[in-house]
């Protein structure tokens, strides 16, 4: 087993956080912060889902998530529907306006990612995808314990 080099891991995390900051700034003119975008993209990928699942999937504080959802509802981007089976459960989904906005935001986000990814050589792209799979595996292992 190869010993993890904390310095190298820390340098990677720092670079990744810098990249996330770059993405947030690129998307900022759309007037959403990074966690708001995460919620919009999670809904875009998952479709209608319980509010509590958004909190757990994105590892966000319940109060913070609630404030973001309230803002998105007030702007007519999402809607909330109470479950007929469990009155404590609320489902979140996009309004028609929100669906259109989410599509536009996701297209912009995807273009940034694809443009950056295309700067890598074929070999680097393969290695990068492998690294992403390893990071996902580590995250999955942490979440299951």
pLDDT in the model for residue 9 = 85
Residue 71 belongs to some domain of the structure: yes
pLDDT in the model for residue 97 = 97
Residue 1 belongs to some domain of the structure: no
Whichever domain contains 137, its CATH number is 1.10.10.10
pLDDT in the model for residue 42 = 95
Question: 42 and 24 in contact (C-beta within 8 Å)?
Answer: no
Question: Can you give the residue range of the structural domain that contains 16?
Answer: 6-144
Question: 36 and 122 in contact (C-beta within 8 Å)?
Answer: no
pLDDT in the model for residue 71 = 96
Residue 22 belongs to some domain of the structure: yes
pLDDT at 30 over 70: no
Helical residues (DSSP H) of 29-94, grouped into ranges:
34-46, 51-58, 62-74
Residue 43 belongs to some domain of the structure: yes
For CA atoms 113, 116, 120, 122, give the dihedral sign: positive
Q: For a pLDDT cut of 70, what percent of the chain falls above it?
A: 97
- Reported as a pLDDT band with limits 50, 70 and 90, residue 8 is confident
Residue 54 belongs to some domain of the structure: yes
pLDDT at 88 over 90: no
How many separate domains does the chain show?
1
What pTM, to 2 d.p., does this model score?
A: 0.79
pLDDT in tens, 54-84: 999 899 999 999 999 999 999 999 999 998 8
User: What three-state secondary structure class fits 26?
Assistant: helix
Say how far residue 71 (Cα) sits from the centre of its chain: 17
- Reported as a pLDDT band with limits 50, 70 and 90, residue 1 is low
Mean pLDDT of the 18-34 span: 82
pLDDT in the model for residue 27 = 83
């Amino acid at each position: 087993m190869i010993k993890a080099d904390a310095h190298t891991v820390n340098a990677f995390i720092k670079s990744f956080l810098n990249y996330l900051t770059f993405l947030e700034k690129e998307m900022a003119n759309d007037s959403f912060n990074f966690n708001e975008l995460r919620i919009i993209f999670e809904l875009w990928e998952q479709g209608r889902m319980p509010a509590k699942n958004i909190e757990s999937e994105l590892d966000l504080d319940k109060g913070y998530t609630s404030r973001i959802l309230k803002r998105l509802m007030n702007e007519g981007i999402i809607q909330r529907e109470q479950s007929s089976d469990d009155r404590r459960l609320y489902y979140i989904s996009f309004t028609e306006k929100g669906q259109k906005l989410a599509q536009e935001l996701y297209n912009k986000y995807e273009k940034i990612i694809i443009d950056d990814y295309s700067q890598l050589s074929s070999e680097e792209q393969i290695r990068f995808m492998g690294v992403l799979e390893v990071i996902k595996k580590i995250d999955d292992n942490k979440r299951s314990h």
